[in-house]
C-alpha cells in the first residue's frame, strides 16, 4: 500500500501524528511462529536452562509465563523454580503436570537472534510501507511519523476491531482517522507476519511511547492533542518516558509520585537534582516533546509472503502465487526507487521447515520480469514438494539513482549466477537478508555520463567500499529494552 492515505486524511494537519509500534513479547511470539502449538502456553526464551548449565537469564517471557512469576532479565534458576520446564516434568495425557504440587510448566526455548531478525525485518517492511518516516529503535520497536498519511479528524462509530482499542469509543462515540490507520497497521502486522503489536498514537514521540505501553498486550491507545494533559496527569511516575526505577525512587523521595506531580514540579529544582535530564523529564510529563521522528536507515530488503489454505504440491498453484508475489515485490521496489542485487524465494514445508534460495546479480537492477523469472527458476527445485507458504524477496538494495546495471545476457556474461541456499527445520536465516544485514548499499562512483553499464570489477570494488563506509558510519542504535524484554547483548 505504498503511499496510501486514508480517505479524508489531511496533509496539512496542525499537529503531528506519531505512532509508537512495540511488538508484544517479541521473542516468545517468534517462537510461536515456529511452533504454533505453543500458542497460549507459558513460553520462556533465554539461556542456561539445560540440565547442568544453571547460569543464564531470561530474555523474554510470554504473558502466560509472567503470570507465574517469570520476568525478563531474571536469573534462569529463579525462572525454573517458579515455572519448571515441561521437558523435565511428568505430564498427563492432557499435557498438564502429573504432580499436583506443580501448578504449571513452561516451554523454554534458546535465543534464536537470526530468526528474530528475519521476523523483525518483515515487520519493519510493513512499517516503512505505512509511513513516510520510520525511526527503528530496536529489533521490536519503532516510531512512525504518519502526519501526511492520516489526520486527527474525527468520525462517528466504534472501533469494532475485536481487540484492545482507543479508550472508550466502542460505544459509538467519535474516533479519529488516526485510530483507524493505526488499526490498519496492527492488522497488517498480524495478518502478514503473524505477531501482535501494541500501538500508541500521539502528537509526539514521548506521548506515543507512553500510550503504546498503556494497554498491553495487543493494545491500541490514541491520545489526541487536546487529551495529552488528562491522559498523562494520573499516571505513575515510572510511566513517564525516560523515568527508570532509580530516577523514580529519587523523585518519590522529593514527593513526586505521578506524571502530574512531575509536570507541576519546579523545573529549576529538577535541573539542580538531575541536570538537563530533569528538565527534559519535566517537559515530557507536560506532554512537551518537539523531537522530530528521524529515520535511522533505509530498508535492507523488500519481501512478500503468502500461505496456502492447506499445504499443496500443485505446481501451477505455487507458480501462480510466486508470480503474484514477485509482481508485488517489484512494484514496492519501484515505488521506493530501490534497485536490487539479489532475488530470492522462501519455501515453507510442513510442519515448519524453512528453505531459502537466492541468486545474486552482477549489479543493481529494477526489472520486474527478472524478479519473476528468477523466482520461478528457484522454485523448480521444489517441484512435487508439499508447501504451506511461499515468499519472494529482493535484497542487497541500492537507492542510488541512475546506477542501474545493464544485465542483458548477464548469466552468459558471468558464466553462471551466484546461487545461495539455506535449509533449516526451525529458522528462517535468509542468505539474501544476511547479504545486506548491515545496511543498504549506495554507490559513489562517477556518474557524470549517467552510465548504466559497468564492469563486474567496478561493482565488486563499489560493494567493498560501500560496506566499509556503512561499518564506519553505522547509525545510533538504542539498547533500551521494551515490553519487559531484556537486551541480548550478552547473548550474541
- Averaged over 11-32, what is the pLDDT? 86
Residues 222 and 137 in one domain: yes
Q: Give the model's pLDDT for residue 444.
A: 28
Based on the fold, state whether residues 214 and 319 are members of the same structural domain.
no
Judgement on whether residues 253 and 139 belong to the same structural domain of the protein: yes
Domain holding 80, by residue range, is 42-105
Q: Between these two residues, 449 and 137, which has the higher pLDDT value?
A: 137
Number of folded domains that form the chain: 3
- Could you report the per-residue pLDDT of 63-87, keeping only the tens digit for each? 999 999 999 888 998 999 899 988 8
Name the pTM for this structure: 0.64
Express each pLDDT in 404-434 by its tens digit: 555 554 443 333 344 444 444 444 333 333 3
Of 261, 285, 309, at which residue does a domain stop?
Answer: 285
71 and 126 in a single domain? The answer is no
Instruction: Classify residue 295: in a domain, yes or no.
Output: no
- Does residue 419 belong to any structural domain of this protein? yes
Q: Which of 126-130, 304-308, 406-410 is predicted least confidently?
A: 406-410
Does residue 292 form part of some domain? no
Residue with cell 517489484: 330
- Is 141 catalytic? The answer is yes
Whether residue 143 is found in the same domain as residue 56: no
Residues 341 and 375 in one domain: yes
Contacts of residue 434, Cβ cutoff 8 Å, sequence gap at least 6: none
Is it the case that residue 231 has pLDDT exceeding 90? yes
Of 285, 320, 340, the position where a domain reaches its end is 285
Q: Which of 41, 141, 305, 441 is catalytic?
A: 141
Cα gap 49→83, rounded to integer Å: 11
Residue 216: CATH number of its domain:
3.30.70.270
Q: How far, in Å, CA of 20 to CA of 273, rounded?
A: 30
Burial classification of residue 492, based on how many CB atoms lie within 10 Å of its CB (0-12 exposed, 13-18 middle, 19 or more buried): exposed
Does residue 147 sit in the same domain as residue 90? no
Q: What pLDDT score was predicted for residue 441?
A: 29
> Which CATH number fits the domain that encloses residue 431?
3.30.1490.100
Determine the pLDDT at residue 428: 38
3 with 331: CB under 8 angstroms?
no
Residues 197 and 344 placed together within one structural domain of the fold: no
Verify that 396 and 415 share a domain, yes or no: yes
Across 6-15, 223-232, 393-402, the highest mean pLDDT is recorded for 223-232
Q: Are 269 and 307 members of one domain?
A: no
Position 209 scores a pLDDT of 95
Q: Tell me what pLDDT residue 54 has.
A: 64
- Within this chain, do residues 234 and 267 fall inside the same structural domain, yes or no? yes
pLDDT digits (tens, 9 = 90+) for 213-227: 999 999 999 999 999
Q: 475, 479, 445: which is closest to 459 by C-alpha? A: 445
Residue 469 makes CB contacts below 8 A (sequence gap 6+) with 442
Grid coordinates representing 421? Answer: 541456499
**56 and 189 part of one domain:** no
Q: Looking at residue 357, what DSSP letter applies? A: E
d(CA 485, CA 28): 10
Note the pLDDT tens digit of each residue in 162-185.
344 444 455 556 789 999 999 999
Helix, coil or strand: residue 468: helix
Write the CATH number for 47.
Answer: 3.40.1170
Do the domain assignments include residue 11?
no
pLDDT digits (tens, 9 = 90+) for 457-483: 333 344 334 333 333 333 333 333 446
Tell me whether residue 256 is in a domain: yes
Amino acid at each position: 500500500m505504498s503511499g496510501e492515505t486514508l480517505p479524508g486524511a489531511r496533509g496539512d494537519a496542525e499537529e503531528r501524528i506519531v505512532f509508537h509500534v512495540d511488538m508484544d513479547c517479541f521473542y516468545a511470539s517468534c517462537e510461536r511462529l515456529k511452533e504454533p502449538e505453543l500458542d497460549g502456553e507459558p513460553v520462556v526464551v533465554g539461556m542456561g536452562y539445560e540440565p547442568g548449565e544453571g547460569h543464564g537469564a531470561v530474555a523474554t517471557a510470554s504473558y502466560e509465563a509472567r503470570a507465574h512469576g517469570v520476568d525478563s532479565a531474571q536469573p534462569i534458576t529463579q525462572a525454573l523454580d517458579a515455572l519448571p520446564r515441561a521437558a523435565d516434568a511428568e505430564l498427563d495425557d492432557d499435557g498438564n503436570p502429573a504432580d499436583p504440587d506443580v501448578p504449571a510448566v513452561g516451554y523454554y526455548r534458546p535465543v534464536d537472534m537470526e530468526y528474530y531478525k528475519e521476523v523483525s525485518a518483515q515487520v519493519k517492511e510493513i512499517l516503512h510501507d505505512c509511513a513516510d518516516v520510520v525511526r527503528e529503535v530496536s529489533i521490536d520497536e519503532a516510531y512512525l511519523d504518519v502526519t501526511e498519511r492520516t489526520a486527527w479528524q474525527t468520525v462517528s462509530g466504534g472501533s469494532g476491531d475485536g481487540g484492545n482499542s482507543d479508550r472508550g469509543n466502542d460505544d459509538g462515540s467519535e474516533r479519529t482517522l488516526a485510530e483507524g490507520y493505526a488499526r490498519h497497521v496492527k492488522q497488517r502486522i498480524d495478518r502478514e507476519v503473524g505477531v501482535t503489536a501494541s500501538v500508541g498514537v500521539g502528537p509526539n514521540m514521548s506521548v506515543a511511547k507512553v500510550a503504546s505501553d498503556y494497554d498491553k498486550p495487543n493494545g491500541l491507545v490514541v491520545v489526541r492533542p487536546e487529551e495529552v494533559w488528562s491522559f498523562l496527569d494520573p499516571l505513575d511516575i515510572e510511566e513517564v518516558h525516560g523515568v527508570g526505577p532509580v530516577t523514580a525512587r529519587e523523585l518519590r523521595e522529593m514527593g513526586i509520585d505521578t506524571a502530574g506531580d512531575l509536570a507541576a514540579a519546579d523545573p529549576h529544582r529538577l535541573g539542580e537534582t538531575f541536570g538537563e535530564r530533569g528538565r527534559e523529564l519535566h517537559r515530557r510529563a507536560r506532554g512537551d516533546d518537539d523531537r522530530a521522528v528521524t529515520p535511522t536507515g533505509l530498508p535492507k530488503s523488500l519481501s512478500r509472503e503468502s500461505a496456502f489454505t492447506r499445504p499443496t504440491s500443485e505446481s501451477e498453484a505455487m507458480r501462480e502465487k510466486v508470480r503474484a508475489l514477485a509482481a508485488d515485490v517489484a512494484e514496492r521496489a519501484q515505488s521506493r526507487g530501490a534497485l536490487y542485487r539479489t532475488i530470492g524465494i522462501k519455501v515453507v514445508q510442513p510442519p515448519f521447515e524453512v528453505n531459502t534460495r537466492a541468486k545474486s546479480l552482477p549489479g543493481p537492477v529494477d526489472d520486474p520480469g527478472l524478479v519473476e523469472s528468477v523466482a520461478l527458476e528457484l522454485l523448480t527445485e521444489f517441484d512435487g514438494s508439499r508447501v504451506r507458504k511461499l515468499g519472494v524477496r529482493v535484497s542487497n538494495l541500492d537507492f542510488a539513482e541512475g546506477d542501474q546495471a545493464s544485465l542483458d545476457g548477464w548469466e552468459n556474461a558471468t558464466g553462471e549466477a551466484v546461487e545461495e541456499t539455506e535449509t533449516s527445520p526451525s529458522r528462517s536465516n535468509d542468505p539474501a537478508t544476511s547479504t545486506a544485514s548491515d545496511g543498504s548499499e549506495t554507490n559513489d562512483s562517477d556518474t557524470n555520463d549517467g552510465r548504466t553499464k559497468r564492469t563486474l570489477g567496478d561493482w565488486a570494488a563499489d560493494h567493498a567500499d560501500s560496506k566499509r563506509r556503512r561499518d564506519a558510519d553505522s547509525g545510533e542504535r538504542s539498547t533500551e529494552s521494551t515490553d519487559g524484554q531484556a537486551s541480548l547483548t550478552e547473548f550474541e
